[in-house]
A and B are shown apart, each in its own frame.
Chain A
Amino acid sequence: DAGVTQSPTHLIKTRGQQVTLRCSPKSGHDTVSWYQQALGQGPQFIFQYYEEEERQRGNFPDRFSGHQFPNYSSELNVNALLLGDSALYLCASSLMGQGRANTEAFFGQGTRLTVV
């Protein structure tokens, strides 16, 4: 089992550009959550996808959007990049349903995005 995989590992973009990050969840998991981690801070929840729909969203602007595919993989899109979007973007997979709080989430290694 490859666990959670994210691509690319590193990315450099220019202000105003758009970026797409990808995540494949752990085998058997149906829910993907995305987090942004600025340097020296804890991860901040962006949104969660389940059954190809955004189910929950953190305090992030509409420039951040996502998608989930039938095979449960997911994409995070960020439009009109700002310098402040430079961060480590993490994907976590888990199983939806009652009792989810009694399970562990699995994280990928992240994508390091640098906006210049």
Chain B
Amino acid sequence: DAKTTQPNSMESNEEEPVHLPCNHSTISGTDYIHWYRQLPSQGPEYVIHGLTSNVNNRMASLAIAEDRKSSTLILHRATLRDAAVYYCILRDDYGGSQGNLIFGKGTKLSVKP
């Protein structure tokens, strides 16, 4: 299964935009790029996903590089509630994981007031 690489931690100021990077240089054509986040003492929560085109939803935006070897999760205005561990995951129905989510260590985002 293709792997992802994320920074261990990042800091942001409240109400400023946050760009969380993810590298996935061995991504296959059928891999979807998923982002989940996990707030303290809670289960992971879906944020957004995409295949080739940039995606927007009420929580965030996902910018996917043209060669698909990297992507960026964008939180437009960070709030204290956005402090969490963010996981970038490749999900593929046809790969070894058969569509299951395989988590790495993620990026711990801290938001300062």
Contact = CB atoms under 8 A, between A and B. Distances in A.
A109 B99 contact: no
What class of interface size applies to chain A in its complex with B? 20 to 34
A105 B105 contact: no
Interface in B42-60: 42-46, 49, 51
Interface in A43-101: 43-45, 48, 55-56, 90, 92, 94, 98-101
Interface stretch (B10-18, B63-71, B85-93): B85-93
B80 interface: no
Interface string A34-47: 01000001111100
Given A42-B105, A43-B103, A101-B30, A110 B87 contact: no
Contact of A92 (B92, B93, B101): B101
A1 interface: no
Given A42-B87, A42-B104, A42-B106, A100 B99 contact: yes
Contacts of A48: 100
Contacts of A43: 44, 101, 103
Interface string B14-45: 00000000000000001110100000001111
A35 B31 CA distance: 21
Interface of B: 30-32, 34, 42-46, 49, 51, 85, 87, 91-93, 97-106
Given A44-B103, A45-B102, A98-B93, 18 more contacts: A33-B100, A42-B85, A42-B104, A45-B103, A55-B98, A56-B97, A56-B98, A56-B100, A90-B43, A92-B43, A100-B99, A101-B92, A101-B93, A101-B99, A102-B32, A104-B49, A105-B101, A107-B44
